[in-house]
Amino acid sequence: MTQDERWEQQYEQIMAFMNEHHRRPSKHHIEEHLMLNWFKYNKKMMAKGLLPDDRMEKFEKLLEEADGLRRKNQYA
């Protein structure tokens, strides 16, 4: 499996997770740590301008989806 295929696989996994659970991956669930780390790493690379153009477009779509799923205070 190439690095591009792994990136695509992780991208699809996070999109499916957010669509299914209606939230972002959480640091409070150990089974979601890999997704969260991938998300944070790619966000950092995008900010530095190091994310390739094809990945940049897809990741921007992921960020749009994630922005709609901001955390809500469960106690408010």
Number of domains in the chain: 1
Per-residue pLDDT tens, the chain, 76 aa: give them.
999 999 999 999 999 999 999 899 999 999 999 999 999 999 999 999 999 999 999 999 999 999 988 665 555 4
Q: Alpha-carbon distance 54 to 57, whole Å?
A: 6
Query: Is 73 part of a structural domain of the chain?
Result: no
Query: Is 53 part of a structural domain of the chain?
Result: yes
Query: Is 21 part of a structural domain of the chain?
Result: no
Where in the sequence is the domain holding 35, given as residue range(s)?
27-65
Helices (H), 1-76: 3-21, 33-48, 53-67
